[in-house]
Amino acid sequence: MKLNKAINILNKKGYLILENLLNKKKTKIFKIKLEKILKKRLKNKEVIGHYDNQVLYNYFKDDKSLLSLIHFPKVDLILKKILEPNYVLQSTSAQNRIKGKISKKINLKKKYLIGSTWHTDSRYLNNIRLNEGFSYLVIIALDSFTKKNGPTQFIENSFKNRIRPKRRLKNSYKELIMKEGSVCIMDTGMWHRAGKSSLNSRWSIFSIYSGWFVKPYHNFQNFLHKNKIQKKYKKLLHYYSQPPDISEMRDTVTSK
């Protein structure tokens, strides 16, 4: 799909699905690595979400090869146009909405269900959401999103609505159906919620991207200083958009 056509669809519908960005060999490798991280974090009694929804924030800190999941050349071209060249990562997590994977005999630390009610991932000032196009959610289907494994649900055209959605609504909704290896770019203003957990695996990556001036969910600086990271990932992880020291005179955004 040509760049301008992709951006027109995204601006009109609020979401865009790009198929086959990952082949099944790669999705299998990524899922094996995520399963390994899940076991490690469980063993170390770290926060991993809920029995019915496993969540691994910043999975790449356990395995740097997973940084490739926050940067796809085709997605990068689109985000540079609809946001700006200096756009950054606001947050990223790997999720699997599967029941029965973790025994309820295990005492989970700070268990929580993520995104189970209607919400947006955009930002509000005085209870009014910032305009559409402020930030974008990138969803990677490491497993196919089907009607049998709790696909993400969303209300079409809701990204144009600037009020907060009620947590519980009875509106009609659409399900995000995607093939394994596909990627969805969605305006964070879209009203959406997680589908119901099932007995089927649904590994996925949920990342939010915004302008360089938006504060990330987590501070990546220690990770960046302790590891040798490629420049394209350092840019996404706010390495080049840190405010200058209190006595330093320079622009916030740098290239060094």
Flag whether 254 is in a domain: no
Flag whether 68 is in a domain: yes
Query: What contacts 179, CB < 8 A, 6 or more positions away?
Result: 19, 20, 141, 144
Flag whether 12 is in a domain: yes
- List pLDDT tens digits, range 220-249: 999 999 999 999 999 999 999 999 988 888
Across the chain, mean pLDDT equals 95
* pLDDT of 256 above 80: no
Number of independent structural domains in the chain: 1
Assign 105 a pLDDT band (cuts: 50, 70, 90): confident
Task: Give the other-Cβ count within 10 Å of 78's Cβ.
Answer: 20
Q: What is the CATH number of the domain that holds 208?
A: 2.60.120.620
Residue 205 has, within 13 A of its CA and on its CB side, a CA count of: 29
- Give percent of the chain above pLDDT 90: 88
* pLDDT of 66 above 90: yes
Report yes or no on whether pTM surpasses 0.85. yes
Which range of residues forms the domain containing residue 187?
3-236
Assign 69 a pLDDT band (cuts: 50, 70, 90): very high
Flag whether 60 is in a domain: yes
Q: Which helix (H) or strand (E) holds 245?
A: none
Flag whether 180 is in a domain: yes
Flag whether 115 is in a domain: yes
| Residue 22, SS3 per DSSP | coil
Flag whether 251 is in a domain: no
Strands 183-187, 174-175: parallel, antiparallel or unpaired by DSSP?
Answer: unpaired
* pLDDT of 136 above 80: yes
- List pLDDT tens digits, range 15-56: 999 999 999 999 999 999 999 999 999 999 999 999 999 999
